[in-house]
Chains A and B, each alone.
Chain A
């Protein structure tokens, strides 16, 4: 055990005070392949967007193959309430986007509990009209539509190395599946191994 872990710790009665300053919450989306839609990955807390992007690359960018990351402040979201049933927008009388309006990215949630996935982008003068336009165009079959100003989304550079390209099978279940199966076969009957493995999380092997 390292020396620092062997020491006898002594502390003041009270914890030191909270760190002052504003730490904001950011939403992170990742894309598994070039041109694949960005999918909700999770949240993180950071003092500014630059550090948020950096932390997102280190955390969510290393969980699975990843070619691009989007990050935005949670406050930038405008969304419909999460419906109990899939939406079926009746008013599809839509207007053409005006090129001078700001761009918005549309995300949709197909079922309650699902993650939000990038659907499209559009242009609208404000968040309210962006949301209603997004619902009319993309709301069918969704339980929730979310719009975020394109300018608020900070993305990694195209071609930026996020998911490292060296062999990372040591950090994935499938990196062990074959060797584990072979080792079990040396000591167990095949049907016992199959019975034992039925509680594995199979999607990830």
Chain B
């Protein structure tokens, strides 16, 4: 359920062998997919590693807020679906860690770097999910955004990541459809259900708009991440497509797009109708620019749930250490009491 990170290119591609680099770029331009045994610029390897590791981390952490709701799902079918979804997300993490392993980082190091905050995961999972309607919104808006993004990533250039994206997207389709069904059910329910759904929508619309990352820098199409087809559509283009799809759908459901102010815990304290959220003559829907200060604050670890999500992940990692030891070496020493 995640968008991959905007890959940062930490190494100057100009340091590479110019002939090999030219051949690599020609292959990419011709639509050739890169396989693990091929020569690739170091910047490409490191960029792809960061992207797939960030994506894997996001799958793992993204399962945490939803996992908390399995025991409180409103029906057996919803409980089965949510259990399957959480299982899927963790499985996606497993597959993406494997792609990352081939790019040169051990799985154990990736799991540990996530626990210690050395590596990041997607911002949107640092917001609270206090009601069942939040679970519906995560699956409708966040998984909907993820599908838009991952459909484009499945047209990327790195073969193992592309193969994994195809498999993941098959399951994301179920996550999205399940969420859509939940939102439609809630919005055709009681007044109280509709109010709960509107409040959840207010909490998740902003993070959904920010899902695709910060505004594009000028010339981003010519920079390595897009030139090398690590990503193939700009953040702003994906964001506009998302708004064009979901703003009219929300309106038809009876939901109102608000511009919200939130407190430190991520709960809405003030809101007003987003007057910009109407279509222009080209059919593009307007939207109020997200609060990018909030975006960067959350990235730096100061969002409403950053500390809690990481603490829970680390708690699970430490509590699970004896299982890993038992499996790997037959040492069955019991863990300390929780």
* B37 & A43 in contact (Cβ 8 Å cutoff): no
Tell me the bound Cα distance from A59 to B94 in angstroms. Answer: 10
| Chain B contact residues, majority secondary structure | helix
In the A-B complex, the 10 residue pairs with the closest CB atoms? A21-B328, A21-B329, A113-B33, A171-B84, A183-B184, A19-B324, A112-B33, A204-B173, A173-B173, A9-B311
**Interface residue A151 (Cβ < 8 Å from any Cβ of B):** no
* Besides A11-B314, A176-B178, 15 new A-B residue pairs in contact (Cβ under 8 A), listed by A number: A4-B338, A15-B116, A16-B321, A18-B108, A21-B330, A41-B167, A42-B95, A63-B170, A111-B33, A112-B32, A114-B163, A171-B88, A187-B187, A192-B252, A201-B170
B68 in the interface (beta carbon within 8 A): yes
Given A19-B329, A177-B177, A187-B253 in contact, is the A42-B167 Cβ separation under 8 Å? yes
Q: How far is the CA of A15 from the CA of B116 in the complex (A)?
A: 8
Interface, chain A (partner B; CB < 8 A) = 1-2, 4-5, 9, 11, 15-16, 18-23, 25, 40-47, 51, 59, 62-64, 81-82, 84, 111-115, 144, 170-173, 175-177, 179-180, 183-184, 186-188, 192, 196, 199-201, 203-205
Q: Report the nearest A residue to B322, measured CB to CB.
A: A19
Most A Cβ at <10 Å: residue of B33, B173, B241, B249: B173
Q: Is the Cβ of B71 less than 8 Å from the Cβ of A2?
A: yes
Cβ of A69 to closest chain B Cβ, rounded Å: 15
A63 to chain B, nearest CB (A): 7
Q: Report B116 CB to chain A, min CB distance, Å.
A: 7
Choose one: B81, B116, B185; the contact of A183 (CB below 8 Å): B185
Q: Which residues of B contact A (CB under 8 A)?
A: 27, 32-35, 37-38, 68, 71, 77, 80-81, 84-85, 87-88, 91, 94-95, 98, 101, 107-108, 112, 115-116, 144, 147-148, 151, 159, 162-164, 167, 169-174, 176-178, 180-181, 184-185, 187-188, 241, 245, 248-249, 252-254, 311-312, 314-315, 317-318, 321, 324-325, 327-330, 338
